[in-house]
Structure 1
Amino acid sequence: MKDETGSDELVVPRLTVSPDLPAAVQEMLRTAKPAELRDPDPAGRGSLWHGLAAPMRWETALMCAGSYTFSTSAGPHAPVRVLLWPLAGLGTAWVALTVSLDIARRRKDRTRLRAIRHSREQYVLDGDLAPAAGQLLARASCAVDAVRRSKVHQDDYLDRQRNDVLLPEKAWEIAEMLRAYSRVERSTPAQAEGQEVQPVLEAHRAVLQATLASIERRVTALETYAEQTAEADRRYAEFLQIQQISAAGSDLLELLARSVRDDLAVAEITGLTEQATTVGEAFKTTVAQARESAHALAAPAVPSAA
């Protein structure tokens, strides 16, 4: 998936959420505004009691000024003064309701922002990642999406229930490691300030590069699984089409029997059956290979020798 400019760079996922979070919290994070996710600090969103100023708007001031002018221009016993008392009561009730609703809304917003702040380490934003790390996460996300969209996954030939648990876990592990990498990478000086610092900085960068390469191996394993799933999808489509053709075998046999010898008709149908068997076996083999790849993904990673 390319970005909107048409370049070869993949679009980095805006938000990657830990699958360990409750479903309600995950949904809250996905529907939150980008600014709230970047800075989930209730203290920076204004005071809870700022709602007291909510009714102090221009229309309220204009109404109050008009009522005051109208009442003072009338005589002391004018009927309008009698009517103003109920109106004043309604105005007071309206102000109190507006203040209460605004304070309640702010309290709800602050509670939600506090929950987002407490979950900050449980989600990764695109802005949390260095460019190279963002591209790796985009590749992993594309691979996971490809598997979950596949026909063999949706029809449960690849153990759909297991995949629905395993794949989000693997994507989150990759996102979490890439965020940690990005934090260190961004804190690394661009250049050494002296000759003695240079070898230390080079060693630091070498470790960073080795870490990124290790994460990329995980991403490549996901991509390999996605490729095998795509191949299984192609085999599955062939298998279904052969089944569809073979289902009409009895009608084809009758049609051929009317025009040629019975033995030729039987040979033709037998050929179709053999083709169906061949494609079916190829499909089963491909699905089995994809399942083995999924089991390899679930196995704990063994660190490579330095």
Structure 2
Amino acid sequence: MKDDTKSSELVVPRLTINPDLPAATQEMLRAAKPSDLRNPDPAGRDGIWSDLAVPLRWETAIVCACAITFFNSAGPDSPFRGLLWPAVGIGATWLVLMTSIPVAGHLMTRSRLRRIQEVRELYVLDADLVPAAGQLLARAGHAVAAVRRSKVHRDDYLDRQRNDVVLPEKEWEIAEMLRAYSRVERSTPTKATGDEARPVLDAHQAVLQTALGGIERRVTALETYAEQTAEADRRYAELLQIQQISAAGAELLELLARSVRDDLAVAEIDGLTNQATTVADAFKAALAEARESARALAAPTAA
């Protein structure tokens, strides 16, 4: 069980997306407004006629009336005489353009909302989760991010390609289960209305806690993997540092040979080599533990 104080400091992710969705759809979801993600209902938006009426405001009518009056009142020698109908044509063109812009935007918005509505079950919002579920998802996301930031992952000591596929899948599975749990918890009464209902409610809540405990075991498995990856990272950093020191072994041997016997110098270099071997063995062991944890993490999927 993880420290509740630590987990309470984590920020619940605003949006968790099914990794199987096309990349374009995922980008659309990330760029969408929170209100559109919460309620992607195209039917609830203003109709297209409201967009058509945008340029048809009273200010437009006043401008058109003033223009017509100006051209009609122009004298016979005025250069503006006879320009009424060309001006009307220009005004009509402007009106069509000003109308088409909001209409096109409206149609694009409705199309985007329809797509979001189609995939509503394929993403989870922070608002979909009760507090306990939100914290579990935050812990899972934190563990996944820690693994993918690690140097042993980036340098492909932990099968980076597999991690890049499996870890988002695990995070999504947890998010989906936590959303289902949250829906049931929100629909469950917090207090029994009578003696007959109390044992039924208690049993229901016990099952809920069992379900949440099962999800938390998945989160803990991810956190264990992240911890073992961090240990492998530390061993890897030690190994690189000792290799860097050992790389200067020839110069060090020459330096030592000037001041002490050759056999003592060789012994010193051998000591550095043994240290490098020890750290390398520890690094290999840490990697083996991390890989074993990754295999255990994939076991529920295989089942």
Query: 1:91 Cα shift?
Result: 1.2
User: What secondary structure does 2:16 align onto?
Assistant: strand
Does the 8 A contact of 2:185 with 2:208 survive in 1? yes
**What is the CA–CA distance in structure 1 between the aligned matches of 2:101 and 2:211, rounded to whole Å?**
51
2:178 aligned with 1:204, yes or no? no
Name the CA distance, whole Å, in 2 between partners of 1:297 and 1:290: 10
- Aligned partner of 2:148 in structure 1 is 148
Larger mean CA deviation between 39-48 and 242-251 belongs to: 39-48
Aligned partners of 1:62 and 1:252: how far apart in 2?
Answer: 91
**Residue 266 of structure 1: aligned partner:** 266
Distance in 2, Cα, partners of 1:41 & 1:222: 36
Q: What corresponds to 1:74 in structure 2?
A: 74
Greater Cα offset, 283-292 or 101-110 = 101-110
Q: CA deviation at 1:199?
A: 0.6
Q: Does 1:194 align with 2:194?
A: yes
Matches within 5 A, 1:103-114: 103-114=103-114
The 8 Å contact of residues 11 and 138 in structure 1, kept in 2 or not, is answered as yes
Aligned to 2:55: 55
State the 1:73 CA deviation: 4.1
What secondary structure is seen at the aligned counterpart in 2 of 1:80? coil
Moved more, 41-50 or 177-186: 41-50
Counterpart secondary structure, 1:46:
coil
1:256 and 2:256 correspond: yes
Aligned to 1:278: 278
CA distance in 2: counterparts of 1:62 and 1:256, whole angstroms: 97
Q: Match for residue 14 of structure 1?
A: 14
Distance 2:179 2:8 in 1: 22
Cα distance in 1 between the residues matched to 2:111 and 2:302: 42
Q: Tell me the distance in 1 between the aligned counterparts of 2:19 and 2:99.
A: 39
C-alpha separation in 1, matches of 2:23 and 2:7: 35
Aligned to 1:214: 214
CA distance in 2 between counterparts of 1:234 and 1:152 reads: 10
Report how many aligned residue pairs link the two structures.
298
Per-residue CA deviations over 1:237-296 (Å, capped at 9, x if unaligned) read 001001100111111111111111111110110000000010011001101110110010
2:296 is the alignment partner of 1:296: yes
Question: 1:96-116 deviations in whole A, cap 9, x for unaligned?
Answer: 112122212211111111010
1:230 aligns with 2:250: no
Q: What does residue 45 of structure 1 align with?
A: 45
Deviation string, structure 1 residues 102-143 (Cα, Å, up to 9, x no partner):
212211111111010000000000000001000000000000
Cα shift readout 1:200-249 (whole Å, capped 9, x = no counterpart): 11111000011101100000000000000111110010010011001111
In 1, distance between residues paired with 2:60 and 2:17?
Answer: 44
Q: In structure 2, how many angstroms separate the alpha carbons of the residues matched to 1:122 and 1:94?
A: 43
Q: 1:52 to 1:280 in 2, by over 3 A?
A: same
Residue 3 (structure 2) aligns with = none
Q: 1-side partners of 2:290 and 2:298: how far apart?
A: 13
TM-score after normalising by structure 1 = 0.92
Sequence identity percentage = 71
SS of residue matched to 2:206: helix
- Paired with 1:214 and 1:61, the residues of 2 have a C-alpha distance of 67
Q: Which amino acid aligns with 1:156?
A: D
SS in 2 for 1:124: strand
- Mapped to 2, the partners of 1:264 and 1:7 lie a distance apart of 53
2:180 is aligned to 180
The CA distance in 1 between the partners of 2:10 and 2:175, in whole Å, is 15
* Contact 2:7/2:135 (8 A) holds in 1: no
d(CA) in 1 for partners of 2:149 and 2:206?
Answer: 38
Residue 101 (structure 1) aligned with residue 91 (structure 2) = no
Q: What amino acid sits opposite 1:206 in the alignment?
A: A
Residues 50 and 103, structure 1, Cα contact 8 Å, conserved in 2: no
1:174-205 CA distance string (max 9 Å, x none): 00000000000000112111110111111110
- Conservation of the 8 A alpha-carbon contact between 2:8 and 2:135: no
CA distance in 2, matches of 1:281, 1:7: 33
Aligned residue identity for 1:39? N
1:57 and 1:280 mapped to 2: Cα distance?
77
Structure 1 CA distance for aligned equivalents of residues 270 and 113 of structure 2: 68
What is the alpha-carbon distance in structure 2 between the residues aligned to residue 272 and residue 106 of structure 1?
Answer: 71
